[in-house]
Amino acid sequence: MKEVRYIFDEGMFMFASFWKIMPVLTLSLGAGLDAKNEMQKKNKEPVHQPACGLHEGECCYARSCKCAMGGALEFDFLYWYAENPGFSAYAYEQKNPYMILATIPQADIGCIVRLDAKWDPGFRIGAGWNTDFDRWDVFVNWTWYKNHSTESKSLNSLVAPSVVGFYPITFFDNEINPFQNTSSSWQMLHNAIDLELGRAYYITKTLSLRPHLGLRCGLINQKSRTQFYNPLTSEEVIIENYVNHAKNNYWGIGPRFGIHSQWHIASSSWSILAKASTSILLGETKAHFRDGYIDNAGNDLTHRDFKDHVTQYVPNLQIFLGVDWGSCLDCDNYYLGVNAGWETNIYWNQYNVPMANQYVEVAGLPSHSSEAVTMGGLTINFHFDY
């Protein structure tokens, strides 16, 4: 009986001791389970980051590779053509041989002779600074492009007398002789300095925009020279050789704004790049027209010499469409980008030469200024951020 009671007392003592340490065991077990669950969550569940650019303050990488301040350098190789319809038309070719010789007057049948647009290289260089103030950036670039187009035409099968031939479209005397040969040249120099303040950001996971505004200072100088020689007539020749010179120089400054858009292709380094900008320049145009001829006595005579000076607004449009490749280097400390595509630049009101067209009896009338200079072609850009 004593042994039974002893066993009972020992059991009650152990039960009482276990009951006292139960809360401690429960807390320890719960803490261990919580720690295990946290470890499983960290190992199995992905960390979700907000979409780039959808939340202010998130680094969006729409420019370079990091949000910190840094510089940017750019170089563009340009291979463009250029044309101005006002300067490119330099002669009229008469093709109806019976226009004057027939008893009944015949119609003028012919065509305007124009310079073909030529291709020449140019360049653009730029530098900027990416700030850490809400991801704004400042950029300035300089564009230089020069074009020189030349052309010669001849009608070697013709013999005098003939009314078929080349006629100057800038000569207002209806009695001028046709010529067997003609040649023309046109030179254009374009300089533009652009100052931009922009901000690049994503609006979706694959589309980023960079609106910008600033100033453009533009200069376009144009000059042409056209010559006619070898007159086609059996009568006494008055004009042996006819030459005209024309200039149209413009410079202006004004506000400029535009937008860059970039469609990123999946998760690759490639994207489709589109740019558009416009500006309204206020500036001055200086125009000059002078022509003359060599008569049958060998005298070099001036026929007309007109000058004009006018202040005017000039609208400008710039468009680019191409593909872009870019990559971050050295642990995202540097960014290298290359893009290539087609670029078009248009400057309106770039033909203000004071002259009179053929058959106009009043000399020195200003020409229509709505003719535009058009430049366009291949642009290859290299971009480096640091």
d(CA 249, CA 219): 8
- Write the burial class of residue 381 (CB in 10 Å: 0-12 exposed, 13-18 middle, 19+ buried): buried
Type and span of the H or E element at 154: strand 136-154
Q: How many residues does the chain have?
A: 386
187-205: b (≥16 Cβ within 10 Å) or e: bbebebebbbbbbbbbeee
At 326-358, the pLDDT tens digits run: 988 888 788 999 999 999 999 999 999 887 554
Write down the domain spans for the chain: 1-48, 70-385
133-146: b (≥16 Cβ within 10 Å) or e: eebebbbebebebe
**78 token code pair:** 């340009």
pLDDT at residue 214, rounded to an integer: 98
Q: With a cut of 70, list the residues of the chain below it in pLDDT.
A: 1-64, 66-68, 96-108, 157-162, 171-175, 234-237, 356-369
d(CA 129, CA 111): 54
d(CA 57, CA 13): 64
Pick one of 3.30.70, 2.60.40, 2.40.128, 2.10.260 as the CATH number of 70-385.
2.40.128
pLDDT at residue 23, rounded to an integer: 54
d(CA 232, CA 217): 48
**292 token code pair:** 């003359």
At 211-269, the pLDDT tens digits run: 999 999 999 999 999 999 888 875 666 778 899 999 999 999 999 999 999 999 988 88
d(CA 188, CA 148): 7
C-alpha atoms less than 13 angstroms from C-alpha of 277 in its C-beta half-sphere: 24
337 touches 43 (CB < 8 A): no
d(CA 195, CA 255): 10
Of 92, 94, 82, 138, the residue nearest 112 (C-alpha) = 92
**Cis status, amide bond into 161, omega within 30 of 0:** yes
- Write phi, then psi, for 5 (nearest 5 degrees): -65, -35
C-alpha atoms less than 13 angstroms from C-alpha of 40 in its C-beta half-sphere: 6
Task: Dump the DSSP string for 257-322.
Answer: EEEEEEEE-TTSSEEEEEEEEEEEEEEEEEEEEEEEEEETT--EEEEEEEEEEEEEEEEEEEEEEE
Q: Dmax over Cα atoms in the chain, in whole Å?
A: 163
